[in-house]
Amino acid sequence: MSHMKIHKGDQVKVVTGKESGKTGKVLRVDTESHRVVIERLNMVKKHTKPNPKKNPQGGVIEREAATEKAAAEMRSRLQKEFRRFDDMDRTWPVEDLLDMLWLITIGRVRLIAHLKEIQKAEMSLRGLMDLAITVMRDDDSVQVETPLLSIRGIGKYGFYSVIAELAETDLGPRCNEEWRTRLNLLRRHWKIPSWPPNPRHWNEG
């Protein structure tokens, strides 16, 4: 099942990596790896052997490469920054916060659209966690809510993507512990034995 809503021929804007801010036409979509090839962006050189049908002389050609590598490098750099601070309340640009996680496309797109609608340009990890799982305590009980599920278009795939990425990403000891506590409270509240796999892996196997 594909969760990507980008199609061949679409005009898209790159939001991470060295091509960030540039736009181009989608040439190919890989729904399993969540990568796209965009016309004249992320160009790489490739040495080719002579081929009577495609390239009789061979040599060096330029072609578009998938954009995931640049996104992965950006994600790794941001994760190191988050681990270094290990701070629930430090605010980050929204796009940095979401780029730090490997969200499925629909989850990231819908989250960014929602935060733009409410004019929120910066957010803390606590703010993102509250959006995913809000825990309210009083003297007699603990209430757990999931505001993220009410955001238009997020759906269960986007929701599970956010909670899985927060669980699988090393955010620093204090932030990791806070998220584990919230996950366990919601799991008990929903009375489920365990969480489903990260939606990024639902196409595997």
Average per-residue pLDDT for the chain: 81
Contact 125, 171 (CB under 8 A): yes
Q: Say what the pLDDT of residue 31 is.
A: 59
128 and 49 inside one domain: no
Q: Total domain count for the chain?
A: 2
Mean per-residue pLDDT, 81-85: 96
CA dist., res. 26 & res. 39, Å (int): 6
CA dist., res. 149 & res. 158, Å (int): 8
Q: How many Cβ atoms are within 10 Å of 106's Cβ, its own excluded?
A: 20
Q: Is residue 1 a part of any domain in this protein?
A: no
Edge-first strand listing for the sheet containing 11-13: 11-13, 23-30, 35-38
CA dist., res. 83 & res. 163, Å (int): 18
Of the three residues 21, 46, 64, the one that is the final residue of a domain is 64
Q: Say what the pLDDT of residue 12 is.
A: 63
CA dist., res. 27 & res. 24, Å (int): 9
Q: Is the pLDDT of residue 200 over 60?
A: yes
Mean per-residue pLDDT, 160-186: 96
Of the three residues 45, 64, 83, the one that is the final residue of a domain is 64
Strands in 71-202 per DSSP E: 91-93, 122-124, 134-137, 142-145
Nearest to 175 by CA among 122, 124, 121: 124
Q: What is the pLDDT of residues 43-61, one digit of tens each?
A: 544 555 666 665 555 554 4
163 and 137 inside one domain: yes
Q: Say what the pLDDT of residue 191 is.
A: 95
Q: Is residue 5 a part of any domain in this protein?
A: no
84 and 136 inside one domain: yes
178 and 82 inside one domain: yes
- Cβ partners under 8 Å of residue 20, min gap 6: 14
116 and 136 inside one domain: yes
59 and 83 inside one domain: no
Q: Say what the pLDDT of residue 52 is.
A: 63
Mean per-residue pLDDT, 153-179: 96
150 and 57 inside one domain: no
- In Å, how far from its chain's centre is CA 6? 15
Burial bucket for residue 38 (CB in 10 Å: 0-12, 13-18, 19+): buried
Of the three residues 22, 44, 64, the one that is the final residue of a domain is 64
56 and 74 inside one domain: no
Give me the residues paired with residue 64 across strands.
Answer: 43
51 and 105 inside one domain: no
Mean per-residue pLDDT, 36-47: 62
Q: Is the pLDDT of residue 25 over 80?
A: no
Q: Is the pLDDT of residue 2 over 50?
A: no
Range(s) of the domain holding residue 31: 11-64
Give me the residues paired with residue 59 across strands.
Answer: 48
- In Å, how far from its chain's centre is CA 118? 20
60 and 73 inside one domain: no
Q: Say what the pLDDT of residue 13 is.
A: 60
CA dist., res. 130 & res. 2, Å (int): 28
CA dist., res. 50 & res. 56, Å (int): 5
43 and 125 inside one domain: no
Name the DSSP letter for residue 198: P
Q: Is residue 2 a part of any domain in this protein?
A: no
Q: Is residue 138 a part of any domain in this protein?
A: yes
95 and 190 inside one domain: yes
Contact 101, 169 (CB under 8 A): yes
